[in-house]
Chains A and B, each alone.
Chain A
Amino acid sequence: ETGVTQSPTHLIKTRGQQVTLRCSSQSGHNTVSWYQQALGQGPQFIFQYYREEENGRGNFPPRFSGLQFPNYSSELNVNALELDDSALYLCASSFDIKQPQHFGDGTRLSIL
């Protein structure tokens, strides 16, 4: 039990649609990172939020965006969905930017 909850667990969308994935962290977890894991690959860093501001971004286009809220929840938004966006999306949070992260169970997104 990591204390990091993601919703929904599964989601099916079609090309061109928009999606919002949610992550709820433990109280006090002021850092959240999002990762994309395509089938058969390691997770790839999308971006990190620290105290509600973006704090670093991986090699993902601007149609991937996020928010972090004062209640330690966060969102990953993806616009103009493409087939290659099909993946497991993981959020990870920690009490502090220097502490190890705890991963949620992920949201599996399928694009048809």
Chain B
Amino acid sequence: ELKVEQNPLFLSMQEGKNYTIYCNYSTTSDRLYWYRQDPGKSLESLFVLLSNGAVKQEGRLMASLDTKARLSTLHITAAVHDLSATYFCAVDPTVPRGTSYGKLTFGQGTILTVHP
């Protein structure tokens, strides 16, 4: 059974500080997703990481993927209040040729609160 673990589960940051959220998973995968969820809302796609060593950046967020270590990170630079939300990583396990992707296993989520 695929397990996806995020840490920390709760993160309280001051504005302007940097921090990293970690996502470990237990099986081979060549695609990993990061999502943001605001309270009572659906999932907003942040990043899709499709290969070992992939790095993507959007604004103050940067995500990376190490498939050998089965680890992805979401790095927050100079946090601002608007980044307060719950962040999920989700893993799409490697499947045999001809079968489908899209059966995601999510981590528990990291609740990020950014304080002034």
Contacts and interface: CB of A to CB of B under 8 A. Distances in A.
Given A41-B108, A42-B107, A33 B102 contact: yes
Interface residues of B, number: 21
Contacts of A97: 100-102
A72 interface: no
A50 B102 CA distance: 10
Nearest to B50: A100
B41 to A, nearest CB: 7
A98 B41 CA distance: 25
A58 interface: yes
Interface in A50-76: 50, 55-56, 58
Q: Which applies to chain A's interface (DSSP): helix, strand, loop or mixed?
A: strand
A102 B42 CA distance: 10
Interface stretch (A14-22, A79-87, A103-111): A103-111
Nearest to B104: A45
Contacts of A102: 45
A103 B42 contact: yes
Interface string B34-47: 01000001111100
Interface of A: 31, 33, 35, 41-45, 48, 50, 55-56, 58, 88, 90, 92, 94, 97-98, 100-106
27 contacts: A31-B102, A33-B103, A35-B106, A41-B109, A42-B88, A42-B108, A43-B106, A45-B103, A48-B103, A50-B100, A55-B100, A58-B103, A88-B42, A90-B43, A94-B102, A97-B100, A97-B101, A98-B101, A100-B33, A100-B48, A101-B102, A102-B45, A103-B35, A103-B44, A105-B41, A105-B42, A106-B42
